[in-house]
Structures are given as C-alpha cells and as structure tokens.
Amino acid sequence: MSSSAQPAEPVPKADRERKGIVKVFAKVKGVLRRTGTERQPSAAARSGAVATAATTPGTKTEDAPKLISHVDAKAAEARALYEAMPGVSRLSKLELFEERAKKLNERFGLEIHPMEWQSAIPSDTVLRMDKPIRMRIRRTCHRCNATFGATKECPNCSHSRCTKCTRYPPKRSEAEIVASRERRAAQIKANRENAPILPDYAPIEKEIVLKRPSKTGGQDLIHKKPRQRVRRTCHECDTLFTAGTKTCEKCKHVRCTDCPRDPPKKDKYPFGYPGDAFGPKSVPHYECLNCKTVYPTGVEDGTECRKCKFPKSHASPRALPRKVEPTPDPEVIRRLQSKLDGLNLT
C-alpha cells in the first residue's frame, strides 16, 4: 500500500441521521405530488412509502403510522381545495356512464343497456370542472400575411392588429348562430330517429335496401343503381326542356314526337315517347277498335287486323306514343318449333 493513501474518515452519526431524514422527506414529497389531484394514494403507494421510510437510515419503524396519517391529511386537504374551486361539481360514476350512453345513442344510434355499463358502486363519485366551449381564433396581418400570436402586435412587421386583419373563422351574426343551432338540432334528431340500418337478410324474397341518414337532416340517402339521364331538346329552337315540364321555356313549344331524345330509343318507342304530342313529321299509325292491335304503316281502310280480323275504318283511332314490345321473328319461331318437335319425350 502506498504511503500517500489515507484511510477514509468515518462519517459522523449526526450527518448520517440528517441524510436519512432528507430521504424520508423526499419520498413523502413525491407521494404528496401524486396525490395533489382528485385521486387519493393507493394502499400500495402508502405501504411502499412507509416501507421505504422504515428502511431508510435514521428513521424509526414506529413512526410509520404517523407518516400515513400525515399523507392522508395532505391528500384530503388537496381534495378539499380542489372541490372549493369555482366550477367544480361532484358527479356520480353511474350518472357519468348514463350521460356517455346517451351521447353515443344520439350520435351513432347505439342503444346501451344499464347492465352493459361499467360496474360501479353507487357511492363512487368523481369531480368534474365545467368549462365553457371555446373556439380557437386565428388572425392574419393584412400587410404581411403573418399570423398573430398571443399579443396584438404582428411578430413580422410590428403592425398593430386592426379591423382589416383577417379573422378565421369569421364572426357570425345572431341569425347565423341561430340557424347553426337549428341545423345541429335537426341533425341530432335525424341521427336519433334514422339510425344507420344494416340490411336484413332474414326474408329472402324481401328486397335489400341500403340507406343512411342525411347529414343535413333531410331525406335518407338510398343506394340505387346508376341510371342514364334523358334529355329532350326542342326541335324548333334547340333548347333543352326543363325536367318535369313539357313546354319549351324559350319558344313555348309543346314537346312533340319530332323533338329529339338523348339517348334515342326508336326501337322501343316507334310511335313516339309517352306524353308527347304528334309532330308534323310523325308518321300516323292506327290501331284496331276491338283488340288495340296496331295496323301496319300506310294500310288502307278495310284491311283486316292480323289478330282479330276486324277491318280498319275511319273510326280506327291513332296509336298514341307508347312503348311497344318487338314482334318476334316468324323464322325464329319456326326453327324453335322444329327443335321442340324433334325432341323425344318418354
């Protein structure tokens, strides 16, 4: 061993006791910091603090009950100070769960029964601080488009905030606020009455309808197959007819069979489209008085009907524009009949 090495000097007993007390107060301070909120220290935390304090040098084991009572007193004092603050109210946990279930029902249409709530003792209470709803407002300098901070002076050009500086969101009038509240109430009512509906697959013959409530509180949105939009154009002034009207807004012409249709379907509507008047270029077609069968184009009076053999006359009415099923080809019918006759049925 070197002669220069010197043995460590023993630490006095008073210093050891002082360091032990400092550690105890540090542990108690940590426990009090955690219990500064509405929650009280758990039994494990108290037992841990007591065990740490008991094993700390300079602390006696019989002082543990005093330490526990001191911690509980500090926690109760902190809770009492929190309850005395303005806006703090006491609320039962059952009431809190009921309020959450009501909001879920209004927003998503979910019905939550009391038995499905989280288990809570009726005597359990929580502290709630009621705060007003605030909206974050941003203002932009109208000179350099910089965003204002907490002060009323622009951080970029030192311009004092004025009425020309842009405000987002813009300030609403009383009428707009009332209208917004009404829309919100209508939306909540629509979500409550017309909750999202899943398709019912139980009855096979029932048609499945997929729909969801409207966000604005109007008619429900129903999923339908895409359909082609039909446009009708006036043949006199080339103006589109308004949907649901049969009179041209420009020339007051009544929609007729000469007015083109987009897309055209002459094969299904050879006499014109339903609801049209007869145009000057339309070819007349007449039907039988007895069975409403249409005679061929340009036949003379006295021609017999191909179905009931009733002769055509001046009393035969003109066929109105309507949908006509295509006449089957006689050659196709003959070939089909020959195939059926060739089958051997036993």
Based on the domain organization, do 251 and 324 belong to the same domain? yes
Quick check: 271 and 319 in contact, CB under 8 A? Answer: yes
Based on the domain organization, do 315 and 255 belong to the same domain? yes
Question: pTM above the 0.85 mark?
Answer: no
Q: Which residues of 308-321 are buried (b: 16+ CB within 10 A; e: fewer)?
A: eeeebeeebeebeb
Quick check: 26 and 67 in contact, CB under 8 A? Answer: no
Structural domain including 103 reads 90-125
**Residue 51: its H or E element:** helix 43-55
Distances (CA, A) of 155 to 4, 8, 136, 148, 159: 65, 61, 19, 7, 8
Q: Which residues of 255-270 are buried (b: 16+ CB within 10 A; e: fewer)?
A: bbbbbebeeeeeeebb
> 57 in a domain, yes or no?
yes
> 212 in a domain, yes or no?
no
Task: Note down pLDDT in tens along the chain; length 346 residues.
Answer: 444 444 445 555 555 555 555 665 666 666 556 554 444 444 444 555 544 544 444 545 455 566 667 777 887 787 788 777 777 877 787 788 888 888 877 777 677 766 665 555 566 777 877 777 778 889 999 999 899 988 889 988 989 999 889 998 888 889 999 999 999 888 888 777 776 665 555 555 567 788 888 888 788 888 888 888 889 999 999 999 988 889 999 999 999 989 999 988 888 888 888 888 888 888 888 888 888 888 888 888 888 888 888 888 888 888 888 888 777 788 888 888 888 888 866 5
Based on the domain organization, do 103 and 140 belong to the same domain? no
Domain count, the chain: 4
Based on the domain organization, do 271 and 287 belong to the same domain? yes
pLDDT for res 1? 42
> 284 in a domain, yes or no?
yes
pLDDT for res 292? 84
Peptide linkage before 7 cis (omega within 30 of 0): no
> 7 in a domain, yes or no?
no
Based on the domain organization, do 167 and 250 belong to the same domain? no
Quick check: 206 and 200 in contact, CB under 8 A? Answer: yes
Backbone φ and ψ for 247, nearest 5 degrees, come out as -125, 135
**∠ CA(267), CA(273), CA(278), 5° rounding?**
115
288 burial (CB, 10 Å; 0-12 / 13-18 / 19+) is buried
Based on the domain organization, do 244 and 289 belong to the same domain? yes
Based on the domain organization, do 301 and 327 belong to the same domain? yes
> 341 in a domain, yes or no?
no
> 43 in a domain, yes or no?
yes
Based on the domain organization, do 322 and 307 belong to the same domain? yes
**∠ CA(13), CA(17), CA(21), 5° rounding?**
170
Based on the domain organization, do 258 and 320 belong to the same domain? yes
Distance (Å, whole) CA 185 – CA 217: 9
Distances (CA, A) of 305 to 100, 288, 290, 325, 338: 76, 7, 9, 18, 27
Based on the domain organization, do 185 and 265 belong to the same domain? no
> 222 in a domain, yes or no?
no
DSSP 108-138: H-----GGGSPP--TT-EEEEE--------E
DSSP state letter for 178: H
Range 255-263 contact pairs with CB under 8 angstroms and sequence separation of 24 or more = 256/282, 257/281, 257/282, 257/321, 258/282, 259/232, 259/233, 259/234, 259/235, 260/232, 260/233, 260/235, 261/230, 261/231, 261/232, 262/230, 262/231, 262/232, 262/233, 263/228, 263/230
Based on the domain organization, do 77 and 140 belong to the same domain? no
> 299 in a domain, yes or no?
yes
